[in-house]
Amino acid sequence: MSTTTLERMPAAEPGAEAGPSYLTSEHTVTSWLFTRDHKRIALLFFASITFFFFIGGFAATLIRLNLATPEGLLQPAVYNRMFTMHGVIMVWFFLIPSIPTTFGNFFVPLMIGARDLAFPRLNLGSWYVFNLSGLVVLYSLVMGGADTGWTFYTPLSTSYANGYVFAAAMAVFINGFSSIMTSLNFIVTIHCMRAPGMTWMRLPLFVWGIYAVSVVMLTATPVLAMDTFLLAVERLMGIGLFDPNHGGDPLLWQHMFWFYSHPAVYIMILPAMGVVSEIIPCYARRPIFGYAGMTMALMAIAILSFFVWAHHMFVAGISVYAGVVFSLMTFFVAVPSAIKVFNWTVSLHKGRISFDAPMLYALSFVLLFTLGGVTGLMLATLGIDVDVHGTYFVVAHFHYIMVGATVSAFFGALHYWWPKLTGRLYPEIWARFAAILTYVGFNLTFFPQFILGYLGMPRRSYTYPAEWEPWNLLSSAGASILAVAYLLPLFYLGWSLFWGRKASANPWRATGLEWATSSPPPKHNFERTPTVTLAPYCYDPQRDTYVTQEGVPHAG
Amino acid sequence: MSRWIPFWPDTAAVNAVAVNNLYLAELGLSALIMATVVAMMLMFCIHYRKGSAVSRADRVQKTWHFEIGWTTATLVAFLVLFVWGASIYIWLYQTPRPDEEVYVVGKQWMWKIQHPGGQREIDALHVPVDKTIRVVMASEDVIHSFFIPAFRIKRDVVPGTLQTIWFKADKTGVFKLECTQFCGLQHATMKGEVDVLSGPDYARWLTAQGVHESLAQQGEVVFRAHGCSGCHDANSTVHAPSLAGVYGTYVHLQNGSVRLADEAYIRDCILNPRSFTVAGYPPVMPDFSGQLGEDDLMKLVAYIKSLGKQESGR
Amino acid sequence: MPASATLRPEIQFATLEQQGDAAQLGMWVFLVNETLFFGALIFTYFIYRISYPHEFAVAAKDAVLWCGSVNLAILLTSSLTMVLAINAGAQGERRAMKRWLLVTVALGCAFLLIKGFEYYQDFQDRVVPVVNFATKPGEGNAGELFWVFYWVATGLHAIHLTIGIGLVLYMLWRIRRGEITPAYYAPLEVVGIYWSFVDTVWLFLYPCIYLVGRS
């Protein structure tokens, strides 16, 4: 968007200028730490998850530095703890909360025309519980870390591991409560607090994404809570629930763990899909292709995700028949994801496409998600999984989805909604550069790992035979580029907070209700409750006009 | 394949050939899907970029036809992959009649291998080429995973159970053996070498080990040392099931169920006799859990198998 | 008793009715979560019970049947008194509402007392895994698993019940402040739903613990 377009923008929406913004309405520390405002809570969460992203990222840096050469850098014990804590922190302290607690918290009430979530104190409570779990995981890390892999397989984790397994398991247990509190809040809010005229089939796809993820979080997390609780009991007291020496079954742990952790990976992708469905229509200036299909795909993924868990156990000793059933189910859950990819791609057809940073991140998401997805199909194929399970192939696959796709969507959301969050515009050139650098760095880091996996390099290894060094070195080099790409936004987004151009209410000319209030919004979101008359994404690329969800038309 | 930068693993067994073909087919399909998505994205992004003057009128309104179309196509393609993959999986995990057997015990952080002739190896496995080898595996401590990339076979070795896997190497050479389930501090170095030899070379290797007691004979020593012969010998006064020829038959248990007497069953009886009491016998067998390492259990199993050996179904 | 000012909904709600609906939906959604939590535990129990039926039956002989049964009766009655309290609240009968709520609290406390006595008895019988456990003949390792389940399940249930008692006391306090009226008694309904859930969990735990091998 050029500066001249900005100056030609119509005046901000009526009533939206009244009152100070949520950022400036109160200044004391207590007004932040005891806030009930979902927007401030979103920023509090943002601070927490960013902190953990850098801790997890630091662990990743050590891992890739170590793997650049076979001789390595770290003692084996340290390396083993680094990859475990990288997994634990990135999964539970960054990826799972990332989009829901930040953009979900901030934008779900705005997008449905509400003044806040249903239970604001529960929302704040969720942040405190998250931080409590964060303190416990930091304790575990500082004391040396757990050394079992983030999957805590027994009997290694219960009877043999030397690290701080109990603390790490307890951190995950407490963290689960934060997830449950947040998801409960979203479900009730979306059911009960939509503005007049905001029917289910007029909800923006981001809200659908948050709804789907909340359903999964609510139903899967309690199982994890029970698992980690029983693991902690076993570790502490030496009971034999999962230990064959005491009559227990190690596979029972795996089944229970994956019953949660497979839906967990969908928890990590569903909100990201929602974000991409917001960005693509806005920058292609046309409605999303197949809105109803997209909502059904989200819900289908959410439900089917509960029926595939044992695809993590094809070689673990389950019966051949069980393997066959779970493989079939896994192929079924891949179908709605494929539908979404096709719909996103075709949503570019006959659009009027611009390539601002959010769009670059969104397109990057589609490509990286598709590559991750096809390799997921390979893992679902039983004959192939027998070969590549437990190797770097799997590591590459899940990083393509969780990092390539989800983190790209996170950055896309950050840039797309930056004006609304902060009232400032970010510098476009730097943002596009960071987006492209991310894509390049990411592929350089993780594509070689597919090759290493098929060659047979096991995962969770601090060293490897010398002949595999070229690919590992390439991967580590790519990681250094990726690190720069992830750090860049810190600088130019930080700069924009003080010196960025001030943003109008709707700098991207988007149709959602969140753009019908000022940038940044006032404390209670809307001075008057909006009335919705239209489905989302009413962009007309032919005439380059758009109509907001309240039915207000805008010329090009 | 360039020896300087390896790109593709060796393909050295009949198992590997099947998996390789499937992998290549899926790579092809994946490339096709990626190419389609990339091509469409590029085409649309260029043709319909903001500055271009092409018409955007008459956009498709009814999207259902396309969605049903590509959903069906996707589902069909996926089902083909599923069936192909599942058939290979079933083939990989159901051992055909073996030519040779090998016993493997995984422990932190080494692979201990015992041949039926009594030869022992650590982190190495010598096998003859073009013979179906059946591998019986146990773990002494945590979960490990037995993986030979060149053969494309893998199975987790879970403590408290016995797992079997098979392969038939079709090339001589030395191939990697890996552990792919994180098992503690030195998991990364829990590696070995699979040395596939021609028939005569293998026979020479076996003799060269200088072992005089076969695994079954070593098992007999353990059998007597732990007092098993006290009850299970033919002239014992204790009413205990005879073990001659039991391997491979179906046994009726006290609780009404029937089990195939394979290696896992024999191991279960030794470690947990109360749960596997044979019908018609008193539940008086002492429980040996904690007294026998997996090595010794393998020897006992080999010995019992050797008693009036019958054709096994596996 | 202070006269209540007209009760207003919280800022994010348009009407009290919307607030009440949201509160009830919230509690039901929370209970879905709780069902999966206890469900995972009961599932683990059944995995082991099916694998070791005999050992579980031997272990369960030491469960104090009269304590469990009396507690079942107490909890079922307390659910009744809870519903009576809510009914009274809906009709505007403040005295009856408070009376029934106090009876509910009393029944809840009685449950905890009997449970406490039962725990004492369990300690005497040496069925506390690892801490004070004596394996009975025929139990094997699986007997200890039964008792792990017992302590985890009844312990978690007791914590939930204590929270329930706290919530009922909180309701009594809010009634005193005039915040529960026939026009708006959603908080009371929400606590009632929670209380019934705690009761239902006991309904499932009871046969798992006390009726094994006693058919």
Kindly determine whether residue A246 and residue C141, on different chains, have CB atoms separated by under 8 Å.
yes
Cα separations (Å) of A262 from A254, A272, B239, C155? 11, 17, 51, 29
| Beta-carbon count within 10 A of C177 CB | 10
Neighbours of A140 (CB within 10 A): 26
| Whether A458 and B75 lie within 8 Å, measured CB to CB | no
Of B18, B55, B185, the CB nearest to A77: B185
Amino acid at A367: L
Give pLDDT tens digits for A412-462: 999 999 999 999 999 999 999 999 999 999 999 999 999 999 999 999 999
pLDDT confidence of residue C53: 87
Residues 6+ apart with CB under 8 A from A333: A300, A301, A304, A305, A307, A308
What pLDDT shows up at residue B313?
38
- A399 in Cβ contact with A57 (< 8 Å): no
Distance from CA of C43 to the nearest CA of A (A): 10
pLDDT tens figures, A451-499: 999 999 999 999 999 999 999 999 999 999 999 999 999 999 999 999 9
B217 contact A CB<8A? no
C-alpha closest to that of C208 among C169, C168, C153, C161: C153
Is residue A21 situated within a structural domain? no
Closest residue in A to B49 (Cα–Cα)? A353
Taking only the tens place, the pLDDT of each residue in A246-301 is 778 899 999 999 999 999 999 999 999 999 999 999 999 999 999 999 999 999 99
Read off the DSSP letter of residue A466.
Answer: G
d(CA C144, CA B297): 27
CA distance B260 to B252: 9
pLDDT tens column, C133-163: 888 877 777 888 899 999 999 999 999 999 9
Residue whose C-alpha is closest to residue A275's, from A294, A292, A255, A259:
A294
Q: Using only C-alpha atoms, what is the Rg of chain C?
A: 20
pLDDT at A555: 84
Length of chain B: 314
pLDDT at B311: 39
B312: confidence class by pLDDT, cuts 50, 70, 90? very low
In a domain, A79, yes or no: yes
Residues of A in contact with B48 (CB under 8 A): 284, 348-353, 541
Average per-residue pLDDT in chain A? 93
Give CA–CA dist A347/A188, Å, rounded. Answer: 31
Q: Which CATH number fits domain C16-210: 3.40.50.1000, 3.50.50.60, 1.20.120.80, 3.40.309.10?
A: 1.20.120.80
Q: Could you tell me which of A390, A374, A338 has the C-alpha nearest to residue A153? A: A390
Of A247 and A64, more confident: A64
Judged by a CB distance cut-off of 8 A, whether residue B61 touches chain A is no
Is cis: bond before A489, omega within 30 of 0? no
Interface size between A and C, measured as CB pairs under 8 A? 98
Q: In this structure, are residues A184 and B217 in contact, taking their beta carbons and an 8 Å threshold?
A: no
Task: Determine contact: B82 vs chain A, CB below 8 A.
Answer: yes
Q: Is residue A448 part of a domain?
A: yes
List pLDDT tens digits, range A88-98: 999 999 999 99
Task: Tell me the chain A residues in contact with residue C14 when contact means C-beta distances shorter than 8 Å.
Answer: 529
Q: Are A410 and A49 in contact (CB under 8 A)?
A: no
What pLDDT, on the 0 to 100 scale, is given for residue B3?
58
Q: Does C25 touch chain A (CB under 8 A)?
A: yes
Across the range A10-34, mean pLDDT stands at 72
Chain B residues closer than 8 Å to A459 by CB: 180, 182
Compute the distance between CA of residue A254 and CA of residue A227 in angstroms, rounded to an integer: 10
Q: Which residues of B touch A249 (CB under 8 A)?
A: 160
Burial classification of residue A7, based on how many CB atoms lie within 10 Å of its CB (0-12 exposed, 13-18 middle, 19 or more buried): exposed
Q: What is the pLDDT of residue A15?
A: 41
Cβ distance of C129 and A227 shorter than 8 Å: no
pLDDT higher than 50, residue A14 = no
Task: Tell me if the bond preceding A520 is cis, omega within 30° of 0.
Answer: yes
Kindly determine whether residue A463 and residue B189, on different chains, have CB atoms separated by under 8 Å.
yes
Chain A residues within an 8 Å CB radius of B66: 289-290, 342, 346
From A196, which residue of chain C is nearest by alpha-carbon distance? Answer: C14
Side-chain half-sphere of A388: how many Cα atoms within 13 Å? Answer: 31
Model confidence band, residue A324 (pLDDT cutoffs 50, 70, 90): very high
Residue in chain C lying closest to A116 (CA): C12
Interface contact C11, partner A, CB < 8 A: yes
Closest CA to B12 of B180, B133, B130: B130
Instruction: Spell out the residues 6+ positions from residue A417 whose beta carbon is closer than 8 angstroms to its own.
Output: A103, A106, A107, A514
What is the distance in angstroms between the Cα of B237 and the nearest Cα belonging to chain A?
32
Question: pLDDT digit string (tens) for A188-229?
Answer: 999 999 999 999 999 999 999 999 999 999 999 999 999 999
CATH number for A270: 1.20.210.10
Residue pair A451/A469 in contact (Cβ under 8 Å)? The answer is: no
Mean pLDDT of B159-167: 93
Q: What are phi and psi of B49, to 5 degrees?
A: -65, 160
Dihedral of CA atoms A488, A425, B45, A111 in degrees, nearest 10, equals 110
Interface with C, mutate which of A25, A183, A188, A255 (most C CBs under 10 A): A188
* Contact assessment for residue A133 and residue A178, using Cβ atoms and an 8 Å cutoff: yes
- Inside any domain, residue A473: yes
Contact A390 B154 (CB under 8 A): yes
CB contact under 8 A, C22 and A241: no
Q: What is the pLDDT of residues A509-521, one digit of tens each?
A: 999 999 999 989 9
Average pLDDT of the segment spanning A73-95: 96
**Chain A residues lying within 8 Å of C21, measured CB to CB:** 192
Q: Mean pLDDT over residues A386-391, rounded?
A: 97
CB contact under 8 A, C40 and A256: yes
Chain B CB contacts of A395 below 8 Å: none
Pick the residue from chain B with its C-alpha nearest to A356.
B50
Q: How far apart, in whole angstroms, are the C-alpha atoms of residue A42 and residue A46? A: 6
Q: Does C163 touch chain A (CB under 8 A)?
A: no
pLDDT at B94: 92
Of residues B50, B59, B71, nearest to A350 (C-beta): B59
Q: Which one of A37, A179, A223 would you mutate to disrupt binding with C, by most C Cβ within 10 Å of its Cβ?
A: A223
Tell me: pLDDT of A19 over 90. no
Q: Which domain holds residue A39?
A: 3-12+26-554
Q: How many structural domains compose chain A?
A: 1
Domain architecture of chain B: domains with CATH? 9-42+63-212 (2.60.40.420), 215-306 (1.10.760.10)
- Min mean pLDDT across A100-104, A204-208, A428-432, C5-9 is at C5-9
Residue B132 amino acid letter: T
* Six-digit token string for C70: 């009396």
Could you tell me which chains touch chain A, where touching means 3 or more CB pairs under 8 A? B, C
Pick from C11, C12, C148 the residue to mutate for testing the A interface (most A CBs within 10 Å): C12
Span B9-13, average pLDDT: 95
Q: How sure is the predictor about B266, in pLDDT bands with cuts at 50, 70 and 90?
A: very high
d(CA A379, CA A362): 25
Domain layout of chain C by residue ranges: 16-210
B152 touches A: beta carbon within 8 Å = yes
* Nearest CB partner across the interface for C36, out of A114, A219, A238: A219
Tokens of A395: 């590591």
By Cβ distance, the residue of B37, B87, B289 closest to A370 is: B37
Residue B310 pLDDT > 70, yes or no? no
Chains A, B: CB contacts within 8 A come to 273
ipTM over 0.90: yes
Q: Average pLDDT for residues B224-233, to the nearest whole number?
A: 89
CA A546 to chain B, closest CA, distance in angstroms equals: 14
Interchain pair A155, B45: CB under 8 A: no
Give B159's contacts in chain A (Cβ within 8 Å).
Answer: 155, 244-245, 250
Q: Per-residue confidence at C1, pLDDT binned at 50, 70, 90?
A: very low
Q: CB C37 to CB A218 under 8 A?
A: no
CB contact under 8 A, C12 and A117: yes
Q: What is the pTM of this model?
A: 0.93
Residue B174 touches partner A, C-beta closer than 8 Å? no
Which chain C positions have a beta carbon within 8 Å of A248's beta carbon? 145
**Strands, sheet with A545-547, edge to edge from the N-terminal-most edge strand:** A538-540, A545-547, A553-554
> Closest Cα of chain C to A332: distance in Å?
24
Torsion angle of C-alpha atoms C207, C211, C213, C215, degrees rounded to 10: -100
Query: Does residue A3 have a pLDDT over 80?
Result: no
Backbone angles phi, psi at B139, to 5 degrees: -120, 140
Please answer whether residues B190 and B110 qualify as being in contact, where contact means their C-beta atoms are separated by less than 8 angstroms. Answer: yes
Average pLDDT estimate for B124-134: 96
Please, which chains are in contact with B (at least 3 CB pairs closer than 8 A)? Answer: A
Model pLDDT, residue A240:
80
CA-CA distance, C172 to C89, in Å (whole number)? Answer: 11
What local confidence, expressed as pLDDT, does residue C137 receive? 79
